[in-house]
Chain A
Amino acid sequence: MKKVIINSLIILAIVVACDFIAGFAGNKMLMSTPEVGTLQSDAYQALFKKKADVLILGSSRARHTYQPKMIIDSTGLTAYNAGYDGHGMNYALIVLQSFLERCKPQVVVLDVCAAMVTDEWLNNSIDDVKHFYGLNAPLTNYVRNYGSWQLQAKIHSNLYRLNSTPIWLAKAHTLPSHDCDGYEPQYGNLADTAIINFTNFEINEIQVNCFKEIIETCNKNSIKLIIYIAPSLEVTAKFQKWMKDFCEEQKVMLNDFGCSPVFFSNRHLYFNDSDHLNDTGAHRMTNRVIADINTLLK
């Protein structure tokens, strides 16, 4: 039995040493992630580097809908799209808090979809950026406050935190570098134009608390907040009703384009797929956002 214990201790020592080395090397690599337009490199830019007057937050619908370049050209303000595929309100809050550590945006454009306030994306949002735990204060605080006990136990391991990171890091370091403001255009045209109605909608308390905290943070810092529901053929009537009530209660303006007739009547022209606009649709939607920003800042 003595031998088993000694062997176990040796194995543990090797694993701890590897964990330490991986953490040290991983942090160095992470903090020099180039801007290449991949999701993870954009997350790094949003959490650590970017400064902007207009900050766009949300999920993939934000990422494929709002064009920062158009906003910059029309308003003269700097803009950045921090939308991330499959990420919820918790991620949006972390990005906003990270931005506030570097600069104070004048306007926050928050695009909300049903999955952002349910538990559907609660864990992905953190799982995809957990490698920044300990490096980014808002993310670290979020995990401490809201993370499950399993996550809080596991995240102390650098190896766990860096799980799968070598793949995207290698990809980021080999792709050509370019600045892309976070927007990712889509050029497809929707073939199947049927509207899909979803009936299931159940809010998640953590996501709603994060939503409230975003509103509170904007109010506290005198940041103008505009909330949108981007056009989508995946309609959840219960969500739209909940958003209307919630925004009224929170006294914030909601621009619901979820079932917008302009986009719905030309769906083959404006949609890439049932839940995302293509570049033409994004252009049209961004024009509307620019008009709203101009009105707000007058």
Chain B
Amino acid sequence: MLINSIGFWIFFAVVFLVYYLVRNSRWQNAWLAITSLVFYGYVSIKLLALFVVIIAFYYGLALGTEKRKGNSTASTKWLKIFGVCAGIGVLIYFKYLNFFITEFSALITSIGFTVNAGTLNIIAPLGISYFTFKLISYIVDVANGNIQVEHDVVKFTAFVAFFPTLMSGPIDRATTFLPQLGQVRKLLPSNISDGALRILWGFFMKACIADRIAPYTDAIFNNMSHHNASSIALASVLYLIQMYSDFAGYSHMAIGVGRLLGLTVTENFKQPLFAVNGGDFWRRWHMSLSFWLRDYIYIPLGGSRCSKLRSYFNVMVTFIACGAWHGANWTYIIFGAHHGLWVIVSRIMKVPREKLEKKHESLKQSTWFKSLRIAINFVVCCIGAMYFRANSFNDIIVAWNKWLSSDWAMPYLQATVPLFTFGLLSVLVMIYKEHQDEYCGKAHFMHSSSRAKKLVCIAMAIVFIILTGALESNSFIYVQF
């Protein structure tokens, strides 16, 4: 049941009505927990049982951690490590075991031995990467004393299984989400209008941009060897925009649904296409994951409060983990390493850039200098997008071979009329809106201070989506993770 399908909205209508009929936070939480589990069970009843077991395990583990907290710090530490390892273990089993088996047997074969290692028939539970990260951060925060343990199992279940964010995040933290569940959520007009606008904008990004670009990028990336360098370059640029529109579209919808339910869900994107370097990009892109990685991997490793070389090592480890989080494929590892390197390069370049800016005062305020930095970052991220989308490591080699050759003829543009008309028009609208959000504050389009302008903009956005969007409920890229 995808968030952009009619089925989801019928389901949500029922959830919404009952949710506001009960005027008690306990009942609201119970209703959220039940409907979230029903939502999960709709995909697979077998995996629902596993999901419930995992929730119960972490609930019990957190209670155990709290009990031992006063008595022994060592046992608290061990329980924390156990909780983290259990989460990583679940992830490894469901997402990476087959990858390890395949790669290990390939390695053994390459050194001359024959192995007959078959892969296991494992189906990864829906949203496993998201809820395990939620649970790991919860157990670490409880052990570190950042939050109080949650005794109410219903509230805890509602937090972990919260259905709008279950499939693709954002990865909420217990520190911000659980306190909200302690209060009665009232039907407020501001929540309704804010939520509805976020959902509408999410729909626009998904249907009018991401799903319009998808046929082109699929055509190129699924037959990389048949296309020339310029087609692959164009597809890489478009894929970055597609990936952003798809994932940010989903995040907007999830945040909007949360808002309609009176809950504030963590923001996931903040105009990442306007980032000026690697570090800036990851402070704006998939923020709930990048901040998670910062807090639970990068900082525990020592962060930047150590030697330069060590901090670069910490960055690389964090970004390789970020790549691996996406799935068991070398392409994701390369994607992570690529961004890790870019963050390091950005840090190294910081000193000469600042010197240059000191020397030429005007550079700091210069629009063209900032635009140049944005453009360079954009190109690097487009290369990263190619690594992310490539079907295999071989495809990455094919792409680089083509880019380094002289095969720069006209790109493939056939059968892409909807993309290069409605799709590009929508991209321009999105860039304009993001530009306004970044530099001019929220007083435009659907957020205009003029009521008439605002209502007409909303109505026109609805008309535009229905008339030009790809409406057939295509799946989201990040649902697979």
Contact = CB atoms under 8 A, between A and B. Distances in A.
B305 to A, nearest CB: 49
A194 B471 CA distance: 37
A18 B471 CA distance: 18
Given A1-B187, A167-B417, A171-B417, A22 B467 contact: yes
A159 B467 CA distance: 5
A74 B466 CA distance: 48
Interface in A15-74: 15, 18-19, 22
Contacts of B458: 11
A20 to B, nearest CB: 11
Interface stretch (A2-10, A200-208, A216-224, A290-298): A2-10
Interface residues of A, number: 26
Interface in B449-468: 451, 455-456, 458-460, 462-463, 466-468
B468 A164 contact: yes
Given A163-B466, A164-B468, A167-B417, A18 B193 contact: no
Nearest to A2: B189
Contacts of A4: 189, 192-193
Contact of A10 (B187, B418, B455, B472): B455
A150 B417 contact: no
Contact of A18 (B417, B463, B468): B463
B100 interface: no
B37 to A, nearest CB: 25
A247 B64 CA distance: 70
A93 interface: no
Contact of B459 (A14, A22, A153, A166): A14
Contact of A163 (B189, B462, B471): B471
B472 A15 contact: no
A162 interface: yes
B219 interface: no
Interface in A136-184: 150, 153-154, 157, 159-160, 162-164, 166-168, 171
Interface of B (DSSP majority class) = helix
Nearest to A16: B459
Contact of B6 (A14, A150, A167): A150
B466 A160 contact: yes
Contacts of A160: 466, 471
B417 A159 contact: no
A7 B455 contact: yes
Contact of A157 (B187, B418, B466): B466
Contacts of A15: 459, 462-463
**Interface residue tally on B, bucketed by range:** 20 to 34
Contact of A162 (B189, B193, B467): B467
B193 A167 contact: no
Given A1-B189, A10-B455, A14-B456, A163 B469 contact: yes
Nearest to B456: A14
A153 B6 contact: yes
Interface string B423-460: 00000000000000000000000000001000110111
Interface string B108-149: 000000000000000000000000000000000000000000
Given A127-B472, A163-B471, A7 B459 contact: no
Contacts of B460: 14, 18
B421 A167 contact: yes
28 contacts: A1-B189, A3-B189, A4-B193, A7-B193, A7-B451, A7-B455, A10-B455, A11-B459, A11-B462, A14-B459, A15-B459, A18-B463, A22-B463, A22-B467, A154-B6, A159-B466, A160-B466, A162-B467, A163-B467, A163-B468, A163-B469, A164-B418, A164-B468, A166-B467, A167-B417, A167-B418, A167-B421, A168-B417
Interface of A: 1, 3-4, 7, 10-11, 14-15, 18-19, 22, 123, 127, 150, 153-154, 157, 159-160, 162-164, 166-168, 171
Given A14-B455, A14-B456, A163-B471, 17 more contacts: A1-B187, A1-B189, A1-B192, A3-B189, A4-B192, A4-B193, A7-B455, A11-B462, A18-B463, A19-B463, A22-B467, A150-B7, A159-B467, A162-B467, A163-B466, A163-B469, A168-B417
List the 6 closest A-B pairs by CB distance, nearest first: A14-B459, A159-B466, A4-B189, A18-B463, A11-B459, A150-B6
